[in-house]
Structure 1
Amino acid sequence: MQVFADLHIHSCFSIATSRSMTPGPLIAAARKKGLRVLGSGDALHPGWRTCWEECSEREGILVVPTAEVEDVSRVHHLILMETFEDFSCLARDLAPYSKDIGHSGRPHVRLGGEEIAAMVHSHGGLIGPAHAFTPWTSLYAAFDSTRECYGDEPVDFLELGLSADSSYGSAIPDLADLPFLSNSDCHSPDTAKLGREFNRIEVSRLTAGGLLEAVRSGRITLNAGFFPEEGKYNRTACVRCFRSYEPDEAGRLNWRCPVDGGRIKMGVRDRARQLSTGKPTKRPPYLHMIPLAELVQKVLGTASPRTKGCRNLYNRFIEAVGDEISVLLYTPITELEDIHPGVAGALDCLRAGRVVLEAGGGGRYGSFSLR
């Protein structure tokens, strides 16, 4: 069975998240998006575990317990478990090393990656670096290899992050045998955020255990998500004025922008190039997508995809087709033209790769136009 899954989200218990990040809106958004599997996010938080355990109406969506944790080196790790009780046990193990595990959705733990991974594996869970190339809180911001971070503990997968696709990691020898995941890391249940990146996974049974088994075995058959240039850390750039630099130039400037004195952060593209010393390995297809809400916004020329006009038109497509992934991937353009010719034309451009990108960097998202 092939299912679409977004395995990294957050909750209303994490900082800078929507108050609507509660089970009801998340389930509704997952159905509208076309996801069959949703990571719970923040499952180390006792209140959030209770929210999901009390949520009986999941409308056919499999909720897999997941969490993100920050280690002593500020590396973020994504954790998958079979049950919320497993996360309760893991939280007890981590509690002596964390001041905020009882009240933060994404807790900080005073342990290294190897120690955290050992605890996760002792409870039958999976662990891998979250948004692995991001220049602030990631594996490759702190280390040059998975072994430097995780030691002798096995790594079960690597999450690419919004500023990377599979090609960024395919020639890094360290990652040759690791499955890649593409997830939204969303802080809002809005369908422009939830499922903006997702995976298609072959599962033998639609359970949390079946999902973990599939990830462990590398049965990811498709990754889908942003064009890497749309991510806010794709290019090496100043974090104040967002001016782009080549790494050699940034090094000569001591990583300080001569325009405003801001810090220059190495972009995901350039960091991946530094690490890519091997031959590219074969990977499942990576499908570059733009959320339907953003395509509608582009066609209507509005300032936000959340305007009433954008929402109404978006919902017309969902009501006619069933879910967003079907609109983006499968429904014939001729059928979509009956709903709105302009948006159908935009979808035709997307499917044909007629997309012009202006790369993001330094913390500012990139942008796109269609031709």
Structure 2
Amino acid sequence: MLLNIDLHIHSCFSMASSPRMLPEPILTGCRLKGITGIGTGDILHPVWREMWEKTTVPDDLIVVPTTEVEGNDRVHHLILLPDYETGRDLADALSPFSKNIGKNGRPQVKLSGEDIASRVHDLDGMIGPAHAFTPWTSLYASHNSVASCYGDEPIDLLELGLSADSGYGSRIADLAGVPFLTNSDAHSAEPAKLGREFTRIEINSVRPDTADVLDAIKAGTIVMNAGFFPEEGKYNRTACTRCFTPYSLSEAEEHGWKCPLDKGRIKKGVRDRAEELSSGPETRRPAYLHIIPLAEIIQRTLKTCSPTTKKCSDLYQRCLVAFGDEISVLTETPVDDLREFHQDLGDAVAAFREGRVTLHPGGGGQYGTFDLG
């Protein structure tokens, strides 16, 4: 059985998250998207944990207790747990080292990656760096190796983040054998956010559960990663964080990492950082499917200012009524059927599938854009 899983989201208790990031809208969003396994996010938060414990989850959806915490050096860690009770135990284990673990969905914990990982492993949980290459709050923003952060504790996974795909980590020696996950890091249940990146795993079970999902990741039975073209991420290229002008590494160094145009800070991009870290031969990884959210394809098709306009939302809903979930529309629905439903949308999906995508890379905190042709 194949499952599409998104194991990194946030709740209404995290900063900059939608107040509608509640269990029921999240489960509805999974249906729309075609996600069959979703992380709770923020499971250390006592109220959020209680809300999930009281939620009735449909039999064909799996909810995995997950959280993201910020440790020393501002490194963000993604944690997967076997059950809600373990979430309570981990909160108790980390609370002496955190001032906001009961208030913020993504708490700050004054411990090293090694100490956090040790406590997670003691509870049979899994841990690895979240959005590992992001230049502000990640493993490779502060460290040059896994061991520098996690010491003798192994990592069980690595989340690539929106600005990277599998190729960015495939030549980094100490990531050999570490499963790569792609997740949305969604702060909203809107279709353009939830499930915008996902991981497809294979499970040999008729009625899979949380334990099966964790076992599949441990065993590396990942069939496909799916997510943005890396160029769409807002930190893909080295660029000024104020005016977003891109620079090569040599130019950034020549300017002392200060933009000559507006004196803004130049931030090293994910592409350049991954290349710095790459030293070994390329390791084989599951297929990576570059996808674009259907809402954004519809926006380009209808030429509107936003994918959340009523015009876009109406076409999105009609499309799902006709063909099922979003992932199926993007990857499986016959183009001729889509064209019969809506000629321009069918043409746009065909262009996307055939790789007729022109990318305008993001950097410095500004998302990249694309054109279909």
Q: Determine helix, strand or coil for the equivalent of 1:199.
A: strand
Q: Determine helix, strand or coil for the equivalent of 1:347.
A: helix
Q: Determine helix, strand or coil for the equivalent of 2:72.
A: coil
The alignment's TM-score, normalised by the length of structure 2, stands at 0.98
Matched, 1:182 2:173: no
What do residues 21-75 of structure 1 show as CA deviations (whole Å, max 9, x unaligned)? 0001000010110111000000010010011001114363111000000001100
AA aligned to 2:193 is: K
Residue 349 (structure 1) aligns with: 351
Matched, 1:310 2:309: no
* Number of residue equivalences: 371
Q: Determine helix, strand or coil for the equivalent of 1:338.
A: helix
What do residues 332-360 of structure 1 show as CA deviations (whole Å, max 9, x unaligned)? 10111121111111110111111000000
Which segments of 5 or more consecutive residues in structure 1 lack a partner in the other structure?
Answer: none
Which segments of 5 or more consecutive residues in structure 2 lack a partner in the other structure?
Answer: none
Query: For residues 57-76 of structure 1, what are the structure 2 equivalents within 5 Å?
Result: 57-58=57-58, 60-76=60-76
* Alignment partner of 1:241 out of 217, 240, 243: 243
- Following the alignment from structure 1 to structure 2, what is the Cα–Cα distance between the partners of residues 160 and 272? 11
Q: Could you tell me whether the CA contact under 8 Å between 1:201 and 1:219 is conserved in 2?
A: yes
CA shift for structure 1 position 176: 1.0
Runs of 4+ aligned residues of structure 1 deviating over 6 Å after TM superposition are none
- Following the alignment from structure 2 to structure 1, what is the Cα–Cα distance between the partners of residues 129 and 203? 22
Residue 228 (structure 1) aligns with: 230
Residue 53 (structure 2) aligns with: 53
What do residues 247-297 of structure 1 show as CA deviations (whole Å, max 9, x unaligned)? 111112111111111111000000000011111111000000000000000
CA shift for structure 1 position 204: 2.8
Residue 79 (structure 1) aligns with: 79
- Following the alignment from structure 2 to structure 1, what is the Cα–Cα distance between the partners of residues 128 and 346? 38
Residue 266 (structure 1) aligns with: 268
What do residues 2-34 of structure 1 show as CA deviations (whole Å, max 9, x unaligned)? 100001000000000001000010000101101
Residue 18 (structure 1) aligns with: 18
Matched, 1:320 2:300: no
- Following the alignment from structure 2 to structure 1, what is the Cα–Cα distance between the partners of residues 292 and 268? 25
Query: For residues 67-216 of structure 1, what are the structure 2 equivalents within 5 Å?
Result: 67-205=67-205, 206-216=208-218
- Following the alignment from structure 1 to structure 2, what is the Cα–Cα distance between the partners of residues 220 and 128? 16
Q: Please report the RMSD computed on the Cα atoms of aligned residues, expressed in angstroms.
A: 0.7
Residue 337 (structure 1) aligns with: 339
- Following the alignment from structure 1 to structure 2, what is the Cα–Cα distance between the partners of residues 254 and 234? 20
Q: Which moves more between the two structures, 205-214 or 190-199?
A: 205-214
CA shift for structure 1 position 235: 0.2
Residue 33 (structure 1) aligns with: 33
